[in-house]
């Protein structure tokens, strides 16, 4: 048995909470930091179905990427799915911790796992931000494929390796793809950094219609989906905990929390 704070602590060792963005709400959001637990359920999002799974399987700690409490709650009533999930967690002594932009901004975090899944090498942080004298953190990642490939071949690679149902992309430019920038989740805000590093393609999510024009003949802009580009965060969190606490049980939730479906 370990304290909730000890389990959370091994994640914040590689992604301190002070690295989160000012608008974020990462950390322990529900429950007692001193409560003893013997296993954790890891998910990308906290939904009612995830809490039901935790109750059914006897988990008293749920760790997610996205915060279950993001906007301020004016009350706690069974009027919407977030409030019902929190109420169920409290009633069943389930602590909920969320590791969001602190994990996005870690070199060992979300974008590195995305880059690894695509198969990029020679990785560097896309938007580096020096936090401490010997630690560099920041958003996104840039790296290279082992060998250049044409645009369609690259899109097939991304679709296969991320398990995407579909990809949205800017116009083909008829160029080879070698240098790739990535950012898990909503990463369009990093496009200027992508252009400065002269990447051939940028894989991220939540790109709006008019944003695709910003590719401007300079690169291939690829929207692979928010869930799809962040899904490996579950493996990341589980891996960190298991390496630190070899006798602590960690399970990845079997609940599909991707809120977007495709009719093809």
Q: Say whether pLDDT at 133 is over 90.
A: no
Q: How confident is the model at residue 132 (pLDDT cuts 50, 70, 90)?
A: confident
Q: What is the mean pLDDT of the chain?
A: 96
Q: How confident is the model at residue 120 (pLDDT cuts 50, 70, 90)?
A: very high
Q: Say whether pLDDT at 130 is over 80.
A: no
The secondary structure of the chain, three-state, reads CEEHHHHHHHHHCCCCHHHCCCCCCCEEEECCCCCEECEEEEECCCCHHHHHHHHHHCCCEEEECCCCCCCCCCCCCCCCHHHHHHHHHHHCCCEEEECCHHHHCCCCCHHHHHHHHHCCEEEEEEEEEEEECCEEEEEEEEEEEEEEECHHHHHHHHHHHHCCCCCEECCCCCCCEEEEEEEEEECHHHHHHHHHCCCCEEEEECCCCHHHHHHCCCCEEEECCHHHHHCCHHHHHHHHHHHHCCCCEEEECCCCCCCCCCCC
**134-167: burial string, b at 16+ Cβ within 10 Å, e else:** eeebbbbbbbbbeeebebeebbeebbeebebeeb
CA nearest to 194, candidates 216, 172, 174, 176: 216
pLDDT recorded at residue 193? 97
pLDDT recorded at residue 70? 93
φ, ψ for residue 189, nearest 5 deg: -60, -15
Which tokens is 40 given? 């954790």
Which tokens is 179 given? 């240098």
pLDDT recorded at residue 134? 78
Domains of the chain: 2-102+231-252 (3.40.1390.30), 105-224 (3.40.1390.30)
How far apart are alpha carbons 225 and 167 in whole angstroms? 8
Q: At what angle do helices 110-118 and 233-244 cross, to 10 degrees?
A: 110
**68-104: burial string, b at 16+ Cβ within 10 Å, e else:** beeeeeeeeeeeeebbbbbbbbeeeebbbbbbbbbbb
Q: Say whether pLDDT at 135 is over 90.
A: no
Question: For 75-113, what is each residue's pLDDT tens digit?
Answer: 999 989 999 999 999 999 999 999 999 999 999 999 999
pLDDT recorded at residue 247? 92
pLDDT recorded at residue 264? 82
How many other C-beta atoms can be found within 10 angstroms of the C-beta atom of residue 117?
17
- Tokens 């999002």 identify what position? 45
pTM: 0.95
Question: For 189-241, what is each residue's pLDDT tens digit?
Answer: 999 999 999 999 999 999 999 999 999 999 999 999 999 999 999 999 999 99
Question: For 34-46, what is each residue's pLDDT tens digit?
Answer: 999 999 999 999 9
Q: Output Rg (C-alpha) for the chain, integer angstroms.
A: 19
How far apart are alpha carbons 204 and 188 in whole angstroms? 7
Higher pLDDT, 132 or 223: 223
């Amino acid at each position: 048995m370990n304290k909730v704070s000890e389990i959370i602590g091994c994640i914040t060792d590689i992604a301190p909470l002070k690295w989160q963005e000012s608008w974020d709400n990462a950390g322990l959001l529900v429950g007692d930091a001193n409560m003893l637990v013997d296993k954790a359920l890891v998910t990308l999002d906290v939904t009612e179905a995830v809490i039901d799974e935790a109750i059914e399987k006897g988990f008293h700690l749920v760790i997610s990427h996205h915060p279950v409490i993001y906007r301020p709650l004016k009350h706690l009533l069974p009027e919407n799915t977030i409030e019902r999930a929190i109420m169920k967690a409290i009633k069943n002594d389930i602590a909920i911790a969320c590791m969001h932009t602190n994990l996005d901004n870690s070199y060992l975090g979300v974008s590195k796992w995305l880059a690894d899944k695509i198969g990029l090498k020679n990785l560097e942080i896309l938007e580096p931000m020096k936090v401490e004298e010997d630690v560099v953190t920041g958003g996104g990642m840039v790296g290279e494929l082992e060998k250049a490939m044409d645009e369609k071949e690259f899109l097939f690679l991304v679709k296969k390796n991320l398990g995407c149902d579909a990809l949205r992309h800017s116009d083909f430019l008829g160029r080879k793809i070698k240098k790739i920038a990535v950012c898990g989740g909503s990463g369009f805000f990093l496009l200027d950094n992508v252009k400065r590093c002269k990447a051939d393609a940028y894989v991220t999510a939540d790109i709006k219609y008019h944003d695709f024009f910003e590719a401007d003949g300079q690169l291939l802009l690829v929207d692979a989906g928010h869930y799809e580009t962040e899904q490996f965060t579950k493996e990341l969190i589980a891996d960190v905990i298991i390496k630190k606490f070899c006798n602590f049980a960690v399970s990845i939730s079997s609940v599909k929390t991707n809120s977007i479906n495709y009719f093809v």
